[in-house]
């Protein structure tokens, strides 16, 4: 057993080795690799499956009561400074290992077909393996220095994958935007890490919290300075997990391939910030001001993401703002001290959002040959509608994910979100009101997305007010049905449907692991720490707890159902927002905005005006400062220097005219000023 725990490092090593193997093959044998690329992708999937199997085994050992295991060795030794690296296996890291590996495998299997026709197929799997390995390394890190190293690797991989289609200007701009915004958070994170090392003299999680807890007893801590350090440290998760006001990179990150959007939303990039706050929560709880900042940041993010998602027309960006809102719920839970609910929602949301993101990829994959290979058309929900009859499995699985995010029992997110709402109402009623209102908005915009895509009539062959067909001749039509010379979407193949079905099962049953309806005595084992129950507690359900839970959940269910009914009334098959016109004998469906509040629509369309604020305050502000500095440098500083140069040149040119080579001329020039001088001097003396 000891040997197994000593080899925990194999979990990130498996996807890393597959990534290195693919990278070396691409470098030395680029042409040969393209011929066997599907075999190589299978190798990546097999290697990650080994890592997942190992993670599940370690997870099982933690359930049965294994103690926390930590293995360290010296990395840098200089005088009294010792920096160690290693790995830490505890309840938090073990459940995160299972989450990341399972979601990553689903994404890899899905990508095998989704990216098959892309010329960067092998490179994509290389980046995917490195991305997964970086996140797994971050999870197993036992100290802040090691976390920071893998934190940067995760950011680098996200940069590569968001800009994977770098020939698109929008994709290259999106990856640069994500890189620049994350540098702000990374600077704050590094500052916080160094600040706490200066205070406690340690980077280790447990040692750092222990020393920080003991310092106030000896009056050796400055609360103001510690609060600043904790705030800077929190700035890293704010950026990584797309919290207000540094959330603006996440919607643009959807320019990357859809499988990567699923991985970023579910288990890697954004999950890293939540994981770090959860890991550091014992320290944050000793600073009440910081926990209040975390709580308010979370609830503002949740509300802002929900309001901006209300009128989005781009499918992937709508889901991006949904992710932002749900991450706000997790941060809110961590801020109020509801550690279990935050972790629970991180897990349930991961499977639900992975299902929705991959489902959106299935829809986009089917729409591209019809409406064109550009995101403005293939991701535009106004050009969809009625896809349920053409893609029944995708529609059913997407509906499962929609029900889950809406908070409808028995789907996964219902149990976790409801626990967050109950705890928030109990501790901070004001935050409870805001979070409950946000839950209603979530139900509305999620069913709006579902209705625009799968309900009503198909609108894919018309664009706006035009009565001409917008579908272009596809490069291949394996993903479409052709009826009467009109192309219709077609269900994805089995390779893409398998992850959707499996994730739908996870979405349906994962929530039951964390709900406190089982007959159990609270203990300190794994599931008690993470979910509130032990392995032996799964024998039978306590009816009293079940009834109590249902009664507590009635208000949140009513709120969610209200949002769903409003969405169905507004965007369903017989919606008053979808009007039918007859143009040239064809049926045309378009979205009518007359019933919308203009402000609400503009708020969503312009992303809460936050991007415009950054454009005017930061982008244009920096450009003005730079242009001013450039003007001063060019016309004042360089002008003075150039003036001396021009003056010297002018004097030289002037004196050059007097150099004729005649001695008589030189004597005349010499005698003339002397004569004038003596004449002037003599006249004044006389």
| Residue 84: pLDDT band with limits 50, 70, 90 | confident
* 494-509 and 91-114 helices, crossing angle to 10°: 150
**Residue bearing the bigger pLDDT, 140 or 575:** 140
b (16+ CB within 10 A) / e for 78-100: eeeeeebbbbbbbbbbbbbbbbb
- Phi-psi category of residue 372: left, alpha or beta, with phi > 0 → left and psi -120 to 50 → alpha: left
pLDDT of residue 520: 41
CA distance 676 to 682: 10
- pLDDT by residue (tens digit) across 447-497? 999 999 998 888 766 443 333 333 333 333 445 555 544 567 888 888 899
> Residue 244 falls within a domain, yes or no?
no
**399, pLDDT greater than 90:** yes
How many CB atoms are closer than 10 A to CB 656? 8
Mean pLDDT of 258-267: 87
**518, pLDDT greater than 60:** no
Bond preceding residue 494 cis, omega within 30 of 0: no
Number of domains observed in the structure of the chain: 1
Contact 277, 329 (CB under 8 A): no
Tokens of 380: 């535009």
pLDDT of residue 515: 64
**Residue bearing the bigger pLDDT, 17 or 68:** 17
The candidate with the shortest Cα–Cα distance to 337, out of 431, 224, 410, is 431
> Residue 558 falls within a domain, yes or no?
no
pTM for the model stands at: 0.85
Range of the domain at 633: 610-685
> Residue 566 falls within a domain, yes or no?
no
Chain centroid offset of residue 276 CA: 14
**596, pLDDT greater than 60:** no
> Residue 371 falls within a domain, yes or no?
no
> Tokens 């000896």 map to which residue?
218
> Residue 589 falls within a domain, yes or no?
no
> Residue 323 falls within a domain, yes or no?
no
Q: Whole-number mean pLDDT of the chain?
A: 82
φ, ψ for residue 681 (rounded to 5)?
Answer: -65, -40
User: In 528-648, where do the E strands start and end?
Assistant: 578-583, 586-591
| Residue 97: pLDDT band with limits 50, 70, 90 | very high
Helix (H) or strand (E) holding 88: strand 81-89
CA distance 571 to 445: 10
> Residue 663 falls within a domain, yes or no?
yes
> Residue 579 falls within a domain, yes or no?
no
**Which residues are 143's β-sheet partners?**
204
């Amino acid at each position: 057993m000891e040997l197994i725990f000593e080899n925990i490092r194999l979990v990130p090593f498996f996807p890393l080795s597959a990534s290195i193997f693919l990278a070396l093959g691409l470098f030395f044998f680029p042409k040969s690799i393209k011929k066997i690329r599907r075999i190589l992708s299978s190798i990546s999937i097999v290697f990650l499956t080994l890592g997942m199997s190992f993670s599940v085994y370690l997870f099982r050992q933690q359930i049965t009561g294994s103690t926390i295991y930590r293995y360290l060795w010296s990395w840098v030794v200089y005088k009294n400074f010792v920096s160690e690296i290693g790995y830490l296996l505890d309840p938090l890291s073990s459940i995160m290992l299972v989450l990341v590996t399972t979601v990553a495998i689903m994404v890899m299997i899905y990508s095998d077909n989704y990216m098959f026709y892309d010329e960067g197929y092998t490179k994509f799997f290389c980046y995917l393996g490195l991305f997964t390995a970086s996140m797994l390394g971050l999870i197993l890190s036992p100290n802040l220095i090691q976390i920071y190293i893998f934190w940067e690797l995760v950011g680098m991989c996200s940069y590569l994958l968001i800009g994977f289609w770098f020939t698109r200007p929008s994709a290259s701009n999106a990856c640069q935007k994500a890189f620049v915004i994350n540098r702000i958070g990374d600077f704050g994170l590094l500052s916080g890490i160094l600040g706490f090392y200066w205070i406690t003299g340690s980077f280790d999680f447990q040692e750092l919290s222990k020393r920080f807890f003991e310092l106030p007893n000896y009056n050796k801590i400055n609360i103001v300075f510690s609060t600043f350090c904790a705030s800077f440290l929190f700035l890293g998760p704010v950026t990584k997990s797309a919290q207000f006001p540094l959330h603006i990179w996440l919607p643009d990150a959807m320019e990357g391939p859809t499988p990567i959007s699923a991985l970023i939303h579910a288990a890697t990039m954004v999950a890293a910030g939540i994981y770090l706050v959860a890991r550091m929560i014992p320290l944050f709880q000793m600073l009440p001001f910081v926990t209040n900042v975390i709580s308010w940041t979370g609830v503002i993010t949740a509300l802002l993401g929900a309001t901006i998602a209300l009128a989005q027309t781009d499918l992937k960006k709508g889901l991006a703002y949904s992710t932002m809102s749900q991450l706000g719920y997790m941060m809110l839970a961590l801020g109020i001290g509801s550690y279990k609910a935050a972790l629970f929602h991180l897990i349930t949301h991961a499977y639900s959002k992975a299902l929705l993101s991959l489902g959106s990829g299935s829809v986009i994959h089917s729409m591209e040959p019809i409406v064109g290979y550009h995101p403005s058309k293939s991701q535009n929900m106004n050009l969809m509608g009625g896809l349920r009859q053409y893609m029944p499995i995708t529609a059913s699985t997407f509906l499962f994910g929609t029900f889950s995010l809406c908070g409808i029992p028995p789907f996964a997110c219902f149990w976790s979100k409801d626990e967050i709402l109950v705890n928030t109402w109990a501790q901070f009623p004001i935050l409870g009101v805001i979070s409950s209102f946000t839950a209603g908005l979530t139900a509305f915009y999620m069913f709006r997305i579902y209705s625009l895509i799968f309900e009503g009539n198909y609108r894919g062959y018309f664009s706006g007010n035009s009565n001409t067909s917008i579908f272009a001749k596809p490069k291949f039509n394996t993903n479409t049905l052709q009826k009467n010379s009109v192309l219709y979407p077609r269900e994805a193949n089995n390779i893409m449907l398998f992850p959707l079905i499996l994730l739908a099962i996870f979405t349906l049953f994962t929530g039951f692991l964390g709900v406190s309806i089982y007959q159990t005595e609270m203990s300190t084992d794994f599931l008690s720490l993470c979910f509130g129950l032990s392995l032996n507690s799964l024998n039978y359900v306590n009816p009293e707890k079940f009834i109590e839970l249902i009664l507590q959940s009635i208000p949140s269910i009513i709120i969610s159902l209200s949002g769903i009914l409003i969405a169905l009334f507004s965007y369903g098959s017989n919606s008053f927002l979808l009007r039918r016109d007859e143009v040239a004998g064809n049926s045309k469906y378009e979205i009518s905005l007359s019933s919308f509040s203009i402000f609400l629509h503009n708020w969503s369309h312009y992303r809460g005006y936050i991007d415009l604020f950054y454009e005017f305050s930061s982008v244009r502000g920096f450009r003005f400062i730079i242009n001013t500095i450039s003007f001063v440098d060019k016309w004042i500083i360089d002008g003075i220097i150039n003036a001396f140069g021009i003056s010297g040149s002018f004097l030289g040119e002037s004196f050059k005219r007097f150099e004729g080579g005649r001695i008589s001329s030189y004597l005349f020039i010499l005698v003339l000023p002397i004569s004038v001088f003596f004449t002037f001097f003599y006249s004044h003396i006389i």
